[in-house]
Amino acid sequence: MKLVECSPDRLNLEVHNKSILIVLGDCMTLYEGRGAAHSEYGDKIIIIKQDGSVIVHGPTGFKPLNWQPDTIHVSFHSEEGHLVLKAVRGKPRETLVVKCRGTYGCISHEPRSSGGFYMYFSESEIRDILRDNPWMIEDGVRITEVEKPVQPGFIDLYGVDKEGRIVVFEIKRVKAGEEAARQLYGYVEKLRKSIPNVRGVLLAPGFTESAIEFLQKNGLEAKPIDLKKLYEMYSERVKRKAGLSSRSLLDYMG
Amino acid sequence: MKLVECSPDRLNLEVHNKSILIVLGDCMTLYEGRGAAHSEYGDKIIIIKQDGSVIVHGPTGFKPLNWQPDTIHVSFHSEEGHLVLKAVRGKPRETLVVKCRGTYGCISHEPRSSGGFYMYFSESEIRDILRDNPWMIEDGVRITEVEKPVQPGFIDLYGVDKEGRIVVFEIKRVKAGEEAARQLYGYVEKLRKSIPNVRGVLLAPGFTESAIEFLQKNGLEAKPIDLKKLYEMYSERVKRKAGLSSRSLLDYMG
DNA sequence: GAATTCATCTGGAGA
DNA sequence: TCTCCAGTTGAATTC
């Protein structure tokens, strides 16, 4: 990591060399593309990564003020002695301009290693656990298809209950609202054209009142899933994959 | 902006002083909370802002690898001589730990000005244009309510057409899929309990095939909106508010 | 605090 | 490429 001169030429060189660049300055931003936005002069952190991603942060908040993910062009130039960054995206056509009234400093870093990233406890993992342990959903149900395509979308789990009725399961890893219920209804509706008597079951750790109402009104079911129990079942798998202790996850769940 | 020693004590001091802190290092991350994730050792950019927001970026990509928006606790300590950052969120309870095998440098900056941020061309702007110019939607329609609350949600525009029928308008600023159509249907369905003969119209710059099908099947309508025309109408207001030329926006739309 | 919806949503998978 | 959907979605707004 090194401090570099905050001049357009030097910064363009660093960008060209695929270094990570961080600029701290008193800047304003202009964005035009799918939307349009601008920010007034104020302290900003500008990050330009190897792949041309540009991110502009203000002094507070988790979200960037402006960004540009897939740039086809990133360059600095000078306007009236002030540093200006222009970042252009190709598709969709979008332009981000950052004008710096002053700069506090510029840092460049040649990245060495990236390292993998792994996410757990996604909806697809919950789906796989339930697929392998259908008794956790209800007694006697048999899962016959996973991610069954319908038009449009995918049915998370598809199976037959102990009385031989077809069941469609829609899984949510967070509390389910009416939108999730509508999604399930869409799938069930499509199947009912060809298969009468289809059951639709929404599986989630919780449900909003309006979700419950919608489900009842449309002859669908809500079944709460116990995330803690799911992970008790699968703590070994979680540990193996993540090298994480599953204990703290369980603490959170409880 | 100043380079600071990458020691836990020094970094804790900077965090305590509400400085913006940037750490570049060879780090791994662990996150546990609503989900769980980990990343292997590799180059990371850690940003800690005034308000305690923590953001961890890898060498590529627009999205952070890990983050923590509303921390109740952020602190550095040392483990076997290595710098470790722990950031805890209160509700929901989530923990992020970043371990640095090595550090490339630490930067601290006392922010001076934040600068206001304005955003336009959001869905609400489109809604306001159409409210003020209902002729752009259809001949003779009169808008009587904006953001009319229903249970659950809000009807973007609510009015009466030239034949006296109640119309519900749902606006999307991007191409509308079946989900948007279902959303509209939900509103219409609720109104039909008390008002028969309600029209439902989806306004968007485009529609997916399945959205069109759903609308037709349920007696609803799709009306394309011309973003370019909307901008023409609105350019004066935009100019006044933002001090931007609206020309380039129009170029993009065309 | 809970619920709902928008977002320059992003990113990924599948056809 | 389009379409659909998950996301540690976040953030604003409303009740």
Largest Cα span, chain A:
78
CA distance B62 to chain A (A): 5
pLDDT tens digits, B71-95: 999 999 999 999 999 999 998 999 9
- Cα B108 to Cα B6: distance, rounded to the nearest angstrom: 11
Q: How confident is the model at residue B254 (pLDDT cuts 50, 70, 90)?
A: very low
Which residues of B are less than 8 Å from A20 in CB distance? 24, 43, 45, 59
**Residue A238's pLDDT is what?**
59
- Cα A89 to Cα B21: distance, rounded to the nearest angstrom: 29
Positions of CATH 2.70.180.20 in chain A = 2-116
Number of CB atoms found within 10 A of residue B220's CB: 21
**Residue A187's pLDDT is what?**
95
Phi/psi of residue A214, nearest 5 degrees: -60, -45
Contact residues for A19 (Cβ-Cβ < 8 A; gap 6+): A50, A108, A109, A110, A111
Report if CB A173 to strand D is under 7 Å. Answer: yes
Which residues are within 7 Å of strand C by their Cβ atom? A 31, 33-35, 37, 65-69, 94, 96, 149, 175, 177-179, 208-211; B 61-63, 91, 119, 121-124, 152-154, 156, 170, 172-174, 183, 186
- Cα A205 to Cα A228: distance, rounded to the nearest angstrom: 10
- Closest nt to A172 (CA→C1')? D6
Q: Which amino acid is at B96?
A: L
pLDDT tens digits, A151-174: 889 999 999 999 999 999 999 999
Structure-token pair, residue A126: 């919950």
Whether a cis peptide bond, with omega within 30° of 0, leads into A224 is no
Of B109, B186, B252, the CB nearest to A24: B109
pLDDT tens digits, B45-64: 999 999 999 999 999 999 99
Residue of A nearest to B183 (CA): A179
Distance in Å from the first CA to the final CA of chain A: 43
With CB atoms and an 8 Å threshold, state whether B35 touches A121: yes
Contact residues for B139 (Cβ-Cβ < 8 A; gap 6+): B162
When mean pLDDT is compared across B101-105, B114-118, B202-206, the lowest value belongs to B114-118
Which residues of A are less than 8 Å from B41 in CB distance? 113, 115
**Residue B135's pLDDT is what?**
94
Number of CB atoms found within 10 A of residue A27's CB: 29
Q: B176 by DSSP, 3-state: which?
A: strand
pLDDT tops 90 at residue B244: no
Å from the B122 CA to the C7 C1'? 9
Would you state the torsion angle of the CA atoms of residues B6, B8, B9, B12, taken in this order, to the nearest 10 degrees? 100
CA distance A59 to chain B (A): 6
Contact residues for A89 (Cβ-Cβ < 8 A; gap 6+): A33, A68, A69, A70, A71, A72, A95, A96
Decide if A81 touches B, using CB distance below 8 A.
no
The residue whose CA lies nearest the C1' of nucleotide C10 is: B63
Which residues does chain A have with pLDDT short of 70? 234-254
Residue A241, sorted as left (phi over 0), alpha (psi -120 to 50) or beta, turns out to be: alpha
- Cα B156 to Cα A199: distance, rounded to the nearest angstrom: 33
CA distance B234 to chain A (A): 13
CA distance A63 to chain B (A): 9
Phi/psi of residue B237, nearest 5 degrees: -65, -40
Contact residues for A14 (Cβ-Cβ < 8 A; gap 6+): A4, A21, A108
User: Tell me, which fold does domain A2-116 have in CATH?
Assistant: Protein Yojf; Chain: A; (2.70.180)
- Closest nt to B36 (CA→C1')? D8
CA distances from B22 to A26, A166, B25, B38 (A): 17, 55, 10, 21
Q: Chain centroid to CA A217: how far?
A: 32
- Cα B101 to Cα B80: distance, rounded to the nearest angstrom: 10
Report if CB B61 to strand D is under 7 Å. Answer: no
Structure-token pair, residue B221: 């309508």
**Residue A109's pLDDT is what?**
98
Would you state the torsion angle of the CA atoms of residues A45, A108, B25, B110, taken in this order, to the nearest 10 degrees? -40
Report if CB A89 to strand D is under 7 Å. Answer: no
CATH 3.10.350.10 fits B123-229, yes or no: no
Q: Please name the residues between 222 and 251 in chain A that touch chain B, using a CB distance below 8 Å.
A: 238, 242-244, 248-249
Decide if A118 touches B, using CB distance below 8 A.
yes
Q: Please name the residues between 174 and 233 in chain B that touch chain A, using a CB distance below 8 Å.
A: 174, 177-179, 182-183, 186, 208, 210
- Closest nt to B211 (CA→C1')? D3
**Residue B121's pLDDT is what?**
79
Å from the B44 CA to the D9 C1'? 21
Pick from A242, A208, A12, A8: nearest CA to A125: A242
- Cα B3 to Cα B107: distance, rounded to the nearest angstrom: 5
Instruction: List the beta bridge partners of residue A145.
Output: A158
Decide if A254 touches B, using CB distance below 8 A.
no
Q: How confident is the model at residue B246 (pLDDT cuts 50, 70, 90)?
A: very low
pLDDT tens digits, B189-212: 989 888 989 999 999 999 999 999
**Residue B250's pLDDT is what?**
44
Report if CB A33 to strand D is under 7 Å. Answer: no
- Closest nt to B64 (CA→C1')? C10
What's the 3-state SS for A148-198? EECCCCEEEEEEECCCCCEEEEEECCCCECHHHHHHHHHHHHHHHCCCCCC
- Cα B177 to Cα B225: distance, rounded to the nearest angstrom: 15
pLDDT tops 80 at residue B239: no
Pick from B121, B113, B118, B127: nearest CA to B242: B118
- How many inter-chain contacts (A to B, CB under 8 Å) are there? 210
Within a 13 Å sphere around the CA of B174, how many CA atoms are in the beta-carbon half? 7
Q: How confident is the model at residue B232 (pLDDT cuts 50, 70, 90)?
A: confident
Pick from B81, B140, B189, B144: nearest CA to A213: B189
Contact call for residues A120 and B33 (beta carbons, < 8 A) = no
Pick from A43, A175, A48: nearest CA to B108: A43
Number of CB atoms found within 10 A of residue A44's CB: 27
Q: Chain centroid to CA A61: how far?
A: 18
pLDDT tops 80 at residue B116: no
Positions of CATH 3.40.1350.10 in chain A = 123-229
Q: Chain centroid to CA A28: how far?
A: 28
Phi/psi of residue A59, nearest 5 degrees: -70, -15
